[in-house]
Amino acid sequence: MEEDHSRREGNGFEIEDDDKEHSVSMLREPFLVRNIKNNIILHRLPLLVPIPALLKALIMSLFPRLAFPAFCSPMAFRIADNELFKQDWRSRKKVEIYQYVVLKWTLALLIGLGTGLVGFFNNLAVENIAGFKLLLTNNLMLENKYYQAFATYAGCNVVLAIAAAALCAYVAPAAAGSGIPEVKAYLNGVDAPSILAPATLFVKIFGSIFGVAAGFVVGKEGPMVHTGACIASLLGQGGSRKYHLTWKWLRYFKNDRDRRDLVTCGSAAGVAAAFRAPVGGVLFALEEDASWWRSALLWRTFFTTAVVAVVLRGLIDFCRSGKCGLFGQGGLIMFDVNSRKAFYSTPDLLAVVFLGVIGGIFGSLYNYCVVKILLVIVISLLTSCCSYGLPWLSKCIPCPPHLAEKCPTEGRSGNFKNFQCPPNHYNDLASLVFNTNDDAIRNLFTSGSEKEFHLSTLMVFFFAIYCLGIVTYGIAVPSGLFIPVILAGASYGRLTGTMLGPLSNLDAGPCALLGAASFLGGTMRMTVSLCVILLELTNDLLMLPLMMLVLLISKTVADCFNKGIYDQMVRMKGFPYMEAHAEPYMRHLVASDVVSGPLVSFSGIEKVGNLLHALKVTGHNGFPVIDEPPCSDAPELCGLVLRSHLLVLLRGKKFTKQRVKMGSGIMKSFKAHDFAKAGSGKGVKLEDLEITEEEMEMYVDLHPITNTSPYTVVDTMSLAKAAVLFRELGLRHLCVVPKTPGRPPIVGILTRHDFTPDHILGLYPHIKPHK
Amino acid sequence: MEEDHSRREGNGFEIEDDDKEHSVSMLREPFLVRNIKNNIILHRLPLLVPIPALLKALIMSLFPRLAFPAFCSPMAFRIADNELFKQDWRSRKKVEIYQYVVLKWTLALLIGLGTGLVGFFNNLAVENIAGFKLLLTNNLMLENKYYQAFATYAGCNVVLAIAAAALCAYVAPAAAGSGIPEVKAYLNGVDAPSILAPATLFVKIFGSIFGVAAGFVVGKEGPMVHTGACIASLLGQGGSRKYHLTWKWLRYFKNDRDRRDLVTCGSAAGVAAAFRAPVGGVLFALEEDASWWRSALLWRTFFTTAVVAVVLRGLIDFCRSGKCGLFGQGGLIMFDVNSRKAFYSTPDLLAVVFLGVIGGIFGSLYNYCVVKILLVIVISLLTSCCSYGLPWLSKCIPCPPHLAEKCPTEGRSGNFKNFQCPPNHYNDLASLVFNTNDDAIRNLFTSGSEKEFHLSTLMVFFFAIYCLGIVTYGIAVPSGLFIPVILAGASYGRLTGTMLGPLSNLDAGPCALLGAASFLGGTMRMTVSLCVILLELTNDLLMLPLMMLVLLISKTVADCFNKGIYDQMVRMKGFPYMEAHAEPYMRHLVASDVVSGPLVSFSGIEKVGNLLHALKVTGHNGFPVIDEPPCSDAPELCGLVLRSHLLVLLRGKKFTKQRVKMGSGIMKSFKAHDFAKAGSGKGVKLEDLEITEEEMEMYVDLHPITNTSPYTVVDTMSLAKAAVLFRELGLRHLCVVPKTPGRPPIVGILTRHDFTPDHILGLYPHIKPHK
């Protein structure tokens, strides 16, 4: 165990002690978490098919450490109520409670401000970089220098892609990918290391900018959610102790519960910033992210997203005056779709049902592919080739006669791309592919312009985007899933709308919106929050009933095949996620069936040597404390003590020669915030302790730091019931006590790992998980 | 206890056994629930100032039984897992699980359909009745028959009011008032009798129609929420056993948890039907109503509200062809407000802040008054006088020159009321007062028409509506609070907007909307759901940031003064509502401190006589079962048995002469659905049992119906922690077990009543509840 520890330290990540407490999962079953680190490189590179050695070398230098450090430690969302904390709470003055409340709201304000600013900066940068790139290429093409144009285009993309990937690989590997599964797991109680570290934040912001600007089929909303969560977590930690940026007031937030609330606010702010959808952000956090929810949190989250909305509105107004370079309408997506119809006929509804069913199937297929394929190829070059090569497949279309915009657009980034076409003609495929993702979506959603895109154009675009989207998710840059899915869905919807044109009266623009909704429903499997996000994006409430219908259908269809994409990602990353429902087979087991392994417990007043030994040989994070005959009449469960508190207590060296109670003495020499939850990997470590041989023989009183009322269940309680209790109360340890008298006062301790299917099915292989 | 019971039965309400189990609240402290019945008449009639004897007699005949039967029984949202139910679950076939799923969704569909139809019917009736009344009066006034006009108007109102009040008084007193507090309490686990009975549904629908049509300042959304909940509950019960309308499949829904889910769907459907706001409905149920929430429920609730939205849209489309009498634009409110502004200047924002602060103050004052004053005066006549008399205060205004509508409107119910004015003039106050509430709101929200209402008109209207709204809430007709609050808020907002016209560029229409938002925020104290409901009502997403700002401010301001209106109503009605947070003083107590009274427990195999005696002399709903030496080595807690299950078991008469286990025999002669939760007041009663003297001496085996893994806490656990556990798991009984060995295996049972402030402060009067 020790060697393992040092090896991990050598890896350069900050890793907390993992928490395989009182479980035998490590011994019997190669546990997923522990496996993933070694497997993931192989897993991600299965298809490194014969490509030139040069490229191979390039890739290997770019993605050397894709291994995601998935050693994670669970958190407890209950504040341990030991004697010391209770005393601290009692002595807390009224003014301190006000401080807490003021600080809570100030932090919510700051999270909103920070996320709003980052969101705007993100968009500004993407619009300017991508706009410059497209403008350059376009100008070269207007001069008929097609090869130079391609070289410029591909060159820009490769440079940006390398920048994004290098940031991820060398600075913060945790920043790769969407980020939503990580935030989701964090809010479920799994604290994977460096998920919310400053370096991750930095890489997430810039990696996302470079990735999106490089023209990858990735979005920015997943990274924005992660960014919001990082900002919230850093604000709550009060800056970094490494850089001497701490703030004394923030001690109130040094516990898992308050930090979780902040991270929830942050993730809502991220969605709000990505889509300018404040209500949608709150609902997203509620529906997808958070595992626990209090209605007080709704109110605070709403405040945060309101701040984001106000910041964004202000900054966009500022940009309207043209001071923001190439930042035009775009960026912060707000599409205007008008259905201009209040009634729908039966064929319309049938068309919608069709959209929903197919959307659900394609969506679940997308999930299947994303999870299975995850391969790294030269996505950047491929994307460049596609977006430069595809438009040649399309014919030129004469410009529509009456148009406010100039057609074809020249000298600026516009929508009617001339590409290789003669004057007064435009290439419809180029206006989709050779553009930023946001603008492509806007073009697809335009209504009243059935003829703008040919059927063949839409078909080519749909297949290109669908495949590119799946392939791109595997690369190690911060990448959101919403935009690729919306893009594929919108082109599919528009395709269907154009094809069904003779049958149904639905306009092609709303059809594209419904197609996007059906794909989103099929991949993400959210309902209310997606609906609100799309409404806020399109500003058209009359579409609501159709949108609800299509979401319901596509989710139902897709649910027949597999789970939502984020659930799959969480599982694939190996987080020990607690599901809201207990598995059916848990009903046949009782709590004591899964408790196993030797139980390590302490006396109320324990020898220092014993404590140190136990801390050294086990990785447990919580130990039961049992009062024995000199202290009590019979062995009696006193409570639970945490490893981190034990370490702080031992560092304080308040030892006695004899086995005597000295509670008040200890209380005076410690303060409650000594025991506060430290930042990730920053707590006292076992190696930091310097205990002499003489001290080893002395005693220390554990009572003041023992949580005397831990949650308990009797050993005959059904495991399903215990799992629900564990999950709903957000526990970290659950004590199992004997029902029949006359046995030792504690049977074992249940932790998160004991409820994982891997553990249970490892113990009872004959149980069929899905019957 | 028995006499008490029979007295209550004589009252004609269906009353379940009340649940003061193991609590001494009844003895020490005059408990609120028990007090309220006697006090409420006095409470509601404090200001019966000298009015003519005739009127007094009329009132007393109208409102003889305002007493709300607040004897309520708590529910458990966990399914008891005794041996019988476990066996039933194990033997449940795959096809039965599909049946359950299909049925679940079918019920959601039916709830949506039912609520949508009722909502539409409600509006159709109100529009036609009120329209006819107004048309009649208007026509008489055009002929200058002012006194006849008043007589007609007042006569119609009084007849409608009497109809509404009589329905409430004689058929279903539980239907009076808003209904939201009752639904909220039900979803918290308090099952007040006949809250969801068929008679209540009937009265709620027709009472609400008559009340709104009578011109009272009441809304229909509260009643719609209650209606939705009733429909859901009745569908779940599978019709009425009284009328032989039961359905076998529905046995899956005969438990508290599934019924709670249905009621949650129903309440969301109610909001959706009242406002045509499907997303708002879901959020309302989430934010205000439900105490527990599962994300699976979000999905089902959303489906229900989607059905409502589709039904309403279809029916309104049908009515557009003019087949629905006087049903015009109105009824199902959907206002079109256009701000036509994307930027806001600093004065605009200051105006919004001002609106928010004042709105919050007025809102909390409203709450204060509604709760305090609750008096019955001749509201109907007063309202008639106001709406007929007030317009005389206003001057006539010439019709605006270019108008699509005819001005003044004649021969139909329109907005530009001629009233007493010369031709081509209209009375602006009459177009607010002398109109249905929905139309008045629509008029106030109109933008681009600053001159339509005079300042003085708005001021008079605001004060009239504010006072009438408060006064009206006290009367015993189904009455919603949203519409009065929106009406008062909109007039206040428009007033402010008109006054601030020179300073700010905000249009008067949006100002009215913001004013309504500020009042709603000040009274209801919801945030996200109000925001979404208002957005769905007005179809203008550009107002979102301002609306959020105003809601945040008004809620914050109002929270300084008192609690939200529904929380106050719940408290006033004396429901033992469990708050999400434990009170601070609970931290100083432990679980065993509040457990008191003699504990009645049974042996695993108990004498029938003992069971009957215990059932007779106590009102407890749950009893601990303790296995004693012949069965086990030492006294040992076996589990918990419910009163309702005991009664069914006793009726089955599977008794033995000797103290022997006979588990399997009992299982064969009973089926799980014998023990299913019966409808309110329909279970086996103690009086129904006919036990002979001989049988009294026999034994019965309680093991098969004992829940062997009840949730337990140790007696030293802090009361705050136990309260959180109790609330978050939705329990009905929580067993307190001793921590130290060698004591009896159970200390006591905690129930909902043991956590109420009244009980705790009764036991420990020295504790200061708010320090």
A712 contacts on B by Cβ (under 8 Å):
712-714
Whole-number pLDDT of residue B474: 62
Q: Which residue of A has its CA nearest to B725?
A: A729
Statement: residue A611 has pLDDT above 60: yes
Q: What are the tens digits of pLDDT across the range B592-628?
A: 888 866 788 888 888 888 888 888 888 788 888 888 7
Confidence category of residue A178, pLDDT binned at 50, 70, 90: confident
Are the C-beta atoms of B396 and B354 separated by less than 8 Å? Answer: no
Q: Which residue of B has its CA nearest to A731?
A: B725
Percent of chain B with pLDDT over 70: 68
Residues 6 or more apart in contact with residue B492 via CB below 8 angstroms:
B358, B359, B362, B462, B515, B518, B519
Q: Do domains A346-572 and A584-763 have the same CATH topology?
A: no
C-alpha to C-alpha distance for B253 and B108, rounded to whole angstroms: 13
| First-to-last C-alpha distance (Å) of chain B | 37
Whole-number pLDDT of residue B114: 93
CA distance B716 to chain A (A): 7
Statement: residue A217 has pLDDT above 70: yes
C-alpha to C-alpha distance for B122 and B112, rounded to whole angstroms: 15
Retrieve residue B724's tokens. 């959180």
CATH number for the domain whose boundaries are A584-763? 3.10.580.10
For residues A258 and A72, which has the higher predicted lDDT (pLDDT)?
A258
Query: Could you give phi then psi for residue A605, rounded to 5 degrees?
Result: -120, 110
For residues A44 and B336, which has the higher predicted lDDT (pLDDT)?
B336
Whole-number pLDDT of residue B356: 77
Are the C-beta atoms of A231 and A114 separated by less than 8 Å? Answer: yes
Are the C-beta atoms of A278 and A535 separated by less than 8 Å? Answer: no
- From the list B278, B544, B636, the residue facing A544 with the nearest CB is B278
Q: Which of residues 523-542 of A touch B (CB under 8 A)?
A: 527-528, 531-532, 535-536, 539, 541-542
Whole-number pLDDT of residue A92: 66
Whole-number pLDDT of residue A267: 92
Q: What are the tens digits of pLDDT across the range A96-123?
A: 778 788 888 888 999 999 999 999 898 8
Retrieve residue A197's tokens. 């570290």
Say whether residue B249 is in contact with chain A using an 8 A CB cutoff: no
- From the list B299, B636, B721, the residue facing A527 with the nearest CB is B299
Q: Indicate the average pLDDT of chain A.
A: 73
Say whether residue B544 is in contact with chain A using an 8 A CB cutoff: yes
The mean per-residue pLDDT over the stretch A268-286 comes to 85
Q: CA nearest A510: which of A521, A494, A527, A523?
A: A494
Whole-number pLDDT of residue B364: 78
Asked whether the beta carbons of residue B636 and residue A728 sit closer than 8 angstroms, the reply is no
Asked whether the beta carbons of residue A555 and residue B739 sit closer than 8 angstroms, the reply is no
The mean per-residue pLDDT over the stretch A368-392 comes to 60
Asked whether the beta carbons of residue B741 and residue A745 sit closer than 8 angstroms, the reply is yes
The mean per-residue pLDDT over the stretch A677-703 comes to 76
- Which secondary-structure segment (H or E) carries B40? helix B32-44
Asked whether the beta carbons of residue A580 and residue B89 sit closer than 8 angstroms, the reply is no
Whole-number pLDDT of residue A114: 93
Level-2 CATH architecture, domain A346-572: Orthogonal Bundle (1.10)
- From the list A293, A527, A708, the residue facing B302 with the nearest CB is A527
Q: Which of residues 42-101 of B touch A (CB under 8 A)?
A: 81, 86, 89
ipTM over 0.90: no
Say whether residue A555 is in contact with chain B using an 8 A CB cutoff: yes
Asked whether the beta carbons of residue B528 and residue A313 sit closer than 8 angstroms, the reply is no
Whole-number pLDDT of residue B117: 93
Residues lower than pLDDT 50 in chain B? 1-72, 330-333, 336-342, 373-374, 376-377, 411-413, 771
| First-to-last C-alpha distance (Å) of chain A | 38
Whole-number pLDDT of residue A34: 33
Query: Longest Cα pair distance anywhere in chain B, in angstroms?
Result: 98
A-B Cβ pairs (cutoff 8 Å, strict): 159
Say whether residue B343 is in contact with chain A using an 8 A CB cutoff: yes
Give the torsion sign (CA, A469, A472, A474, A477): negative
For residues A442 and B45, which has the higher predicted lDDT (pLDDT)?
A442
Statement: residue A55 has pLDDT above 90: no
Q: How many CA atoms does the CB half-sphere of B613 hold within 13 Å?
A: 11
C-alpha to C-alpha distance for B135 and B128, rounded to whole angstroms: 10
The domains of chain B are located at 346-572, 584-763
